Structure 1
């Protein structure tokens, strides 16, 4: 339990100390923000800082820091280290710069921002990358809740249309359609802060339940500094890919522009972007602790947690809530496993609309022009929603972390151009390059090479990316000579 408290203190301290270093490196000023200058009443709408924070938290979180952290707990309390240091030095940096670079460029989508600093080729790659990722996220966050609703109704003996997952899938997609094209302050700005509060309360209830129950003990990192995964999956780089939203996630960079278009002042960025990521890190740390503390360990392996996770993410979250909070946990679990995915899904489709709008230069002031993008997007989502869930989700994790890698390289190039300390982003960019490339070469759903091949290749490619960046930063000096 001591190591958990230390990690929690580091996360909180990281917000005030390293978060301030990041903010000072970017140097926000008093310039007029896009929300004030453009203010179209749809996507560019000034919102108060507390609401920006809670909406950003819910947009980037959903079930990511909950289920991802529990899966990460299969490796044991060593996952605490990745959540803590990943959040402080990678995730918080990534989220802050993705949001602030969007704000500095009129609230542009992350693909357009990457194009500004990495060139047109990367811009087009990111456009496709972002839209595909966002549609996948939106779709799986519709299929999952639809299935859970059916399960809950089935347990109460309800049959007929209401017990048909197809019916609920279309209901959720209909909601996505409405939320995707109406003004951001009509639904998202009004009710999402409440759900964000529920997400925080659920996490607090879990950790209080663990602390107050003598049967639960959070294991220490130093006494369990081994790979506890029952299937023997290596820590590098599988754990770093699995725990995405609780440490660093490229999906966040697609969501940050939504709030970048609603900020009244640049100085809100530290609290809204870096702060929301730290809050998500805290939530992930709590759920990882639950995964390590609540279930039996057999032969040094987390077999009990593996058995619970085998029943599905919704069942696992429900089980933790019941064990730690009793009947109160049931209501919170329902909010967590139904509402939270839906709130991430609709903002995913909204972000996809904005990426396409920026791509094809389609003005979004008029409803007709928003519908031109919303209708085909949701049609594709409906099609993908009828594919095999496992196939759709299989490539999400790698795509997600690769996107984070590209965004960090983008921020590095921005800082170089501004003659500021680019190592603050170049170091985590290099690290995430190694993570992404290693996973791509060794994961079964990718190339499936042995670790003997994947490890050195991943590190060599990361070093190559760093070398290319350094070469690019030296090019102006060579031209002057």
Structure 2
């Protein structure tokens, strides 16, 4: 099949989801109303609660939820063939991810900007909330530690990306000042920021930064892991307008330019997809497509991490409730476009089927390396951009997204620590909570050896944990809709599918970990599985009570006609 046709079909499906299905969700299911006073205005503090232009907020939200996962997952999952990955990414984005992310935003906005963990206490119960927080903490620990390893490896393997990656921080700081302090025109600031970022990419391509084999007694990869955690800790304590928002915003623009370069290259070169639609010749040891496909591709189809971001940071910055459709649903569409690009790069970026099979010689092969290599080849063939510069652009794009996710992940994990301490009737400061988060992250990273790669130790649990959390988030949205006497089906259908697939995958992994004698992963998998099943039982009970009990009083704004601007 020609990659151009696949790209056209996929893009059309994703855009139709935004222009049609998200409008239905916004007006009929969630009843978004621009007259509602959002938490960003009600609790404005200049640090976490900051009313934000919807385009800037979309950039923060999108790049925070995207990270490396929508690149890695699809580029691994094509080992089963490109068709299952394509269908899950497109249909999952339209009917699952978009409504999940929008629903989590809506749920938080209607509850004073509270996180999804706190909402579980109100709508499911105290026991469900405590178990919910355990799952969230473990998921964030996986994200932060694993992404640090991914970024460190890319900075070592693609030294041309070092200057643009770290230079982007300075660009973001200046953009934050220009928007909020100097009140400059957003369009002009955006253009200057993008030019500066791509100038850094060209500079980096001509001036690669190669670290010595050991730095301060650590390997180059381990040194980058340490620096990344220290940076993320400092960044997570700064006001969101100073670094987090502008960094994510400029990265969002950079991603769409990078995707534009990739898709235009597909349009010009029109490479054939060399991978099979359904791969019947999978390498030995490859697990079955069902249920593993639906946890291998998490971000890019539906992801529980998105619910944490939606309710943890984005809901605190939403200027109007109606902006939630653009920020939440279109944020999921942006990630779907990235996942679609990853599928095309990993299947059409090779000359022959034999070349592709050489890369996908075992399960969990491919990933970011296949995206950068295959995408670079397509860009080189389509636009004639030198292979080295093409690889630098794509590697920088991958690193910047992983880094912004790590920034947000550390901030969110700090929120979880503060929330858990608050449940015990105590208070803990921002600095101390951040130190605790960094201690857990660095402790796991260096728990096995000095290479800093310990975070990958529990990464095999990410897919199932992430999708289980998505199901739990959908259960809260469903309970809220039932209590308001609105149709819960848009939440219940994805809830049943995603939760059943992720629990089935977790059970498969339990057997695998047991046969491998991997007692750490086995124990963690069992804890997550038991916690998730317990929460879902509590949620089912809450749904039954919601049907029997009187309906919740509607918010006053819901008594008025819904308004969208």
TM-score between the two structures when normalised by the length of structure 2 = 0.75
CA distance in 1, matches of 2:410, 2:101: 19
Relative to structure 1, is the Cα distance of residues 104 and 329 closer, same or farther in structure 2, using a 3 angstrom cutoff? same
Describe the superposition over 1:165-219 as per-residue Cα deviations: whole angstroms up to 9, x where unpaired: 33222211111111111111110112221111222222222232233225x2147
Answer yes or no: is the 8 Å Cα contact 2:14–2:90 preserved in 1.
yes
Instruction: Return 403-412 or 328-337, whichever deviates more.
Output: 328-337
Q: Does 1:429 align with 2:495?
A: yes
Instruction: Return 269-278 or 232-241, whichever deviates more.
Output: 232-241
Aligned 1:364-375 pairs, distance under 5 A? 369-375=429-435
Q: Residue 438 of structure 2: which of 378, 381, 403 is its match?
A: 378
Q: Residue 44 of structure 1: which of 45, 49, 59 is its match?
A: 49
Query: SS state of the match for residue 108, structure 1?
Result: coil
Answer yes or no: is the 8 Å Cα contact 2:373–2:391 preserved in 1.
no
Q: Does 1:287 align with 2:347?
A: no
Aligned 1:151-230 pairs, distance under 5 A? 151-153=157-159, 158-159=211-212, 160-161=214-215, 164-213=220-269, 216-218=271-273, 224-225=277-278, 229-230=282-283
Describe the superposition over 1:361-408 as per-residue Cα deviations: whole angstroms up to 9, x where unpaired: 39xxx9x82112111111111111114343221211110000001011
For residue 96 of structure 2, what is the aligned residue in structure 1?
Answer: 90
Q: CA deviation at 1:54?
A: 0.9
Q: Residue 31 of structure 1: which of 36, 42, 57 is its match?
A: 36
Query: SS state of the match for residue 240, structure 2?
Result: coil
For residue 519 of structure 2, what is the aligned residue in structure 1?
Answer: none
CA distance in 1, matches of 2:304, 2:243: 25
CA distance in 2, matches of 1:108, 1:421: 23
Q: Does 1:420 align with 2:486?
A: yes
For residue 69 of structure 1, what is the aligned residue in structure 2?
Answer: 74
For residue 455 of structure 1, what is the aligned residue in structure 2?
Answer: none
Answer yes or no: is the 8 Å Cα contact 1:59–1:347 preserved in 2.
yes
CA distance in 1, matches of 2:349, 2:376: 11
Task: Give the gaps of 5 or more residues in structure 2.
Answer: 161-207, 380-386, 448-453, 517-532, 551-565
Relative to structure 1, is the Cα distance of residues 156 and 419 closer, same or farther in structure 2, using a 3 angstrom cutoff? closer
Describe the superposition over 1:43-79 as per-residue Cα deviations: whole angstroms up to 9, x where unpaired: 1111111001111110000111111111122222221
For residue 396 of structure 2, what is the aligned residue in structure 1?
Answer: 335
Q: CA deviation at 1:471?
A: 4.0
Q: Residue 377 of structure 2: which of 302, 314, 323 is its match?
A: 323
Q: Residue 351 of structure 1: which of 412, 431, 443 is its match?
A: 412
Describe the superposition over 1:302-359 as per-residue Cα deviations: whole angstroms up to 9, x where unpaired: 6244149867644323312321223431331231232221111110010111223333
Relative to structure 1, is the Cα distance of residues 36 and 65 closer, same or farther in structure 2, using a 3 angstrom cutoff? same
For residue 301 of structure 2, what is the aligned residue in structure 1?
Answer: 247
Q: CA deviation at 1:248?
A: 0.2
CA distance in 2, matches of 1:434, 1:311: 26
Instruction: Return 344-353 or 225-234, whichever deviates more.
Output: 225-234
CA distance in 1, matches of 2:418, 2:360: 43
For residue 236 of structure 1, what is the aligned residue in structure 2?
Answer: 290
Q: CA deviation at 1:290?
A: 2.1
Q: CA deviation at 1:286?
A: 1.7
CA distance in 2, matches of 1:173, 1:165: 13
Relative to structure 1, is the Cα distance of residues 293 and 156 closer, same or farther in structure 2, using a 3 angstrom cutoff? same
TM-score between the two structures when normalised by the length of structure 1 = 0.87
Aligned length: 457
CA distance in 2, matches of 1:43, 1:239: 36
CA distance in 2, matches of 1:448, 1:85: 35
Answer yes or no: is the 8 Å Cα contact 1:115–1:123 preserved in 2.
yes
Answer yes or no: is the 8 Å Cα contact 1:230–1:302 preserved in 2.
no
CA distance in 2, matches of 1:318, 1:7: 21
Query: SS state of the match for residue 394, structure 1?
Result: helix
CA distance in 2, matches of 1:346, 1:470: 35
Q: Does 1:146 align with 2:152?
A: yes
Relative to structure 1, is the Cα distance of residues 10 and 317 closer, same or farther in structure 2, using a 3 angstrom cutoff? closer
CA distance in 1, matches of 2:372, 2:334: 22
Query: SS state of the match for residue 46, structure 2?
Result: coil
Q: CA deviation at 1:470?
A: 6.1
CA distance in 2, matches of 1:226, 1:42: 50
Answer yes or no: is the 8 Å Cα contact 1:227–1:235 preserved in 2.
no
Describe the superposition over 1:89-132 as per-residue Cα deviations: whole angstroms up to 9, x where unpaired: 11111111111111111111111112221111111111111112
Instruction: Return 226-235 or 429-438, whichever deviates more.
Output: 226-235
CA distance in 2, matches of 1:65, 1:441: 24
CA distance in 2, matches of 1:225, 1:311: 17
Question: What CA RMSD, in Å, does the superposition of the two structures yield over aligned residues?
Answer: 3.0
Answer yes or no: is the 8 Å Cα contact 2:25–2:99 preserved in 1.
yes
CA distance in 1, matches of 2:96, 2:257: 26
Relative to structure 1, is the Cα distance of residues 13 and 153 closer, same or farther in structure 2, using a 3 angstrom cutoff? closer
